[in-house]
Amino acid sequence: MSHPVLSVSASYALALRAALEAAGNQNYRPGTLFVVATPIGNLADISLRALHVLQLADVVACEDTRHTQALLRAYGIDKTPAQLLAVHQHNEAQGAQVVVERLQQGARVAYVSDAGTPAISDPGARLVQAVRLAHLPVVPLPGASSVITALSAAGIAPGIQQHGEFVFVGFLPSKTTERQTAVAALAGELRAVVLLEAPHRIEALATALATLGTRQLTVGRELTKQFEDIANLAAQDFPAWLAQDANRLRGEFALVLHPVAAPQAAAADTRVLQLLLAELPLKTAVKLAADITGEPRNALYEQALQLKKPAA
């Protein structure tokens, strides 16, 4: 997800000095790839270690050199055009080999995506893989992520799902039929699901998600930015929520489809067991149901016996 680089009136000179004080005495080995998270909107959401590494880097690899140059200059960091290397989704394989060569020559290379944490829906994974295969070190610098930011605002309480599990899906297919099929699959996903969407496709996504009825949805629009908007609503109400204000169609979206509530999850587990019992011997059905649902086999066995009683 990208964001406009905002001009700032306050100087980041103090932040750069603080970055040097806080992170300057750490070890930043030559020949290392630093995977650096950058803000998803609010420029102040940059870590001190990220600022220090971006200053220190011999090369900054990035999705868009013009965007990254503007971002660096907003922080008072100057890099020459020769120090910026474009590595994006269309050239990542070739760009990764250039990065590997620079690392082998002893350069410190920082990689940033246009916004947020690289390799999470953004480019970066192929680059990291290539560097790993070359037996060169990779150091991640954590920071902003629209995925985690959206989850933190969703209010999914402990106990609704096991161990806080969630599924990151990202962008659904753009074609209507494929998108509808993907949403139908999400209906059977009991865990929380994180989705991303662009403004020009959000209405189509809202229409598709509305088929999930009363399942709760947290909509994060323009997260961390000036016109941030976070709403909790039923999936079926999402299209109407968008239609209430034309401004809601603007900006980037991160959405959390909440986990299925416990009674609904139990009903879904029972349905799985019923379908298996109709086709398989009891023990085999119980084993497969345990594998599919994650429920204890003993509990499913007792439930299966109860389901078999009417037939007896």
Query: Tell me, what CATH number does 160's domain have?
Result: 3.30.950.10
**85 within some domain:** yes
Mean pLDDT within 38-47: 95
**5 within some domain:** no
**2 within some domain:** no
Structure tokens belonging to residue 200: 């020009």
Regarding whether 131 and 160 lie in a shared domain, the answer is no
Say if residue 145 is exposed, middle or buried (CB neighbours under 10 Å; 0-12, 13-18, 19+): buried
Kindly tell me if the per-residue pLDDT of 92 is higher than 60. Answer: yes
What's the confidence (pLDDT) of residue 9?
42
Lowest mean pLDDT among 63-72, 114-123, 136-145, 149-158: 149-158
What's the confidence (pLDDT) of residue 299?
83
Kindly tell me if the per-residue pLDDT of 141 is higher than 50. Answer: yes
Regarding whether 152 and 111 lie in a shared domain, the answer is no
Regarding whether 95 and 171 lie in a shared domain, the answer is no
Regarding whether 101 and 25 lie in a shared domain, the answer is yes
User: In DSSP terms, which residues pair with 220 in a beta bridge?
Assistant: 230, 254
Regarding whether 174 and 71 lie in a shared domain, the answer is no
Mean pLDDT within 130-147: 97
* Count: domains in the chain: 3
**1 within some domain:** no
Regarding whether 20 and 59 lie in a shared domain, the answer is yes
Say if residue 239 is exposed, middle or buried (CB neighbours under 10 Å; 0-12, 13-18, 19+): middle
Regarding whether 121 and 210 lie in a shared domain, the answer is no
**25 within some domain:** yes
Regarding whether 104 and 85 lie in a shared domain, the answer is yes
Specify the long-range contacts of residues 12-17, CB closer than 8 Å, at least 24 apart.
Answer: 12/51, 12/74, 12/75, 12/76, 13/76, 15/46, 15/48, 15/51, 15/75, 16/51, 16/55, 16/75, 16/76, 16/77
| Helix, strand, coil share (%) of the chain residues, nearest 5 | 45, 15, 40
Helix, strand or coil for residue 253?
strand
The better pLDDT of the pair 131, 190 is held by: 131
Helix, strand or coil for residue 295?
coil
Regarding whether 133 and 18 lie in a shared domain, the answer is yes
**3 within some domain:** no
Distance between CA atoms of residues 196 and 119, nearest Å: 14
Mean pLDDT within 243-270: 84
**7 within some domain:** no
For residue range 154-184, what is the model confidence (pLDDT) as tens digits?
998 765 555 568 999 999 999 999 999 999 8
Close Cβ partners of 59 (under 8 Å, ≥ 6 residues apart): 83, 84, 85, 99, 102, 107, 108, 109, 110
Kindly tell me if the per-residue pLDDT of 262 is higher than 70. Answer: no
Chosen domain end from 144, 172, 205: 144
Range of the domain at 175: 147-257
Regarding whether 45 and 19 lie in a shared domain, the answer is yes
Distance between CA atoms of residues 81 and 60, nearest Å: 10
pTM, to two decimals: 0.79
**8 within some domain:** no
Regarding whether 40 and 127 lie in a shared domain, the answer is yes
Q: Give every strand in the sheet of 138-141, ordered side by side.
A: 84-86, 59-62, 109-112, 33-36, 138-141
Regarding whether 72 and 181 lie in a shared domain, the answer is no
